[in-house]
Structure 1
Amino acid sequence: MITTVLAILKPLLIKGANVAWEHRNQLSLYFKTKFWKYRNSDIRFSISGLYKIQIPDTNEYLLVLNRRIQNQLQPVGGAYKRFGDDSLFNKWGYKPDNSKNGLDVDEKSSSDLRFMVKGKYCVEVLNWFDTGNERESDPKREFFEELVSTKILDPEIFCNIQHKRIRRFSKNLIWSEFFSCYEILIFDVFEFIPNEEQRKALVELSMHKTDLSRGFAIVKCDDIEQLRLVENGRQIARIGQHTKLIINKNF
């Protein structure tokens, strides 16, 4: 009888161990935020989608200037927006970004997934995010705002776009000197898939001389590795650390 029961339970126990291993990072976060010192700490979330836009047949990438951080280039994209009412977020006692604990909120950043909650609610926030409910699921809005509306890319040629998600990268409970709090950072990286006309337009764009006043730059892989754009021996722009994600590096 005991042998029979063990034979039945064995696959379930193995499956349970596999699931636990696959979710080991979240298990660690669960114990740290439910029972340890982070439980009543303010934890800042920043959850974003980014585009890897590679110039065809090269090792060069299209980056845009950050509208908040002066002279910093980064991938197209940014924080996802949430939809629906505030009831769930209010249950978690969330605080939107402000000038003291984040990047503040303006008309363009309203409803961005940049906010604070108490540590004990972190796992609930991640579970909600994984459902995909009441939030953006890709950075297409940012693509059109940053590249098409600004006429960096031709609105007629780039009126319809395709992409595929290639990775998700996260950092849990890292200390931010800038924001003076612990953070959970999540980035979804999408690869832009151009059609033939779009491929030609990207190649043509890459042939222009760098002019940061236009709000973008074409940078090499080495530039991203070094987190700076240099021309004629002089640094002309910083490159945000998270840009490394589009070349399959971490930061």
Structure 2
Amino acid sequence: MGRMERLLAQALSGEGFFAFPGVLLLRGPDAFSFLQGQGTRDLRRLSGPSGVLFLNHKGQIEEAATLFPHPEGFLLAPWGSLEGLERRLRRYIVFDQVELVALPLFRLLHADGREEVGERAEGALPAELYPLYTLLKGLPLLSDIQGELPQSVGLLHLVDYGKGCYVGQEIMARTEGKEVPYRLVGLRALEGGEAPAALTLEGKRVGEAKRLLETPFGLLGLAVVRKEVPVGAEVEGGGGRYRVEALPFKEAAWSGQRSSG
């Protein structure tokens, strides 16, 4: 077994951590009220690290981050780029007395689910392993969820209802308790194609392939499809053909041992 496969098996077993450079400090007299009016989490309930979504007025995800309490305000560790998150926040600063400061810190994401902020990244798992790890675990990247409603990609637990007004809150309130027509699923390639791409079932568009990745187990991917598309269905798109699978992939339990069958 090669080094990368060994490290993948280690990560899938919950050992090790990934490190992502760049953390944003939000501070100033209006830091609380500004952030409360931007993100989906209720800051009054914040007691530790917490994922937070930043929506547009249609309730679609624009940015996401892990939010940490800080003595001067709040730390935001982006799920995408630091520049993208800062740009999203600055767009809504008008008369707010807030300051955004990029810090040379790291978001440390442990394979067992814990998150923390660190000053160094020594000992981290290779960054190039992260897309494969998240794919097998069924964890979407920011690029997979941008433009989608939180409910459609399994992130409704990051929306605190009843917290008051924030960007996208009106749409979230309208859809509270209602089932949305899409869900996040896995794709196993039967014939390789490209992503992102529209997916069809029996000639009808049913969703979108978000990303595809070569893995030790073949070409796998993530997609958002209509809920009536059953697990096991064969869909087409981007020049490929795929079987819809539940997440996480069964290979997420891989221990590094290959079947002899």
Q: Is the helix fraction higher in 1 or 2?
A: 1
Relative to its length, the structure with more strand (as a share) is 2
TM-score interval (norm. to shorter): under 0.3
TM-score by length of 2: 0.23
Computing the radius of gyration from Cα coordinates, the structure with the larger value is: 1
Q: Quick one: higher RCO (CA 8 Å, sep 6+), 1 or 2? A: 1
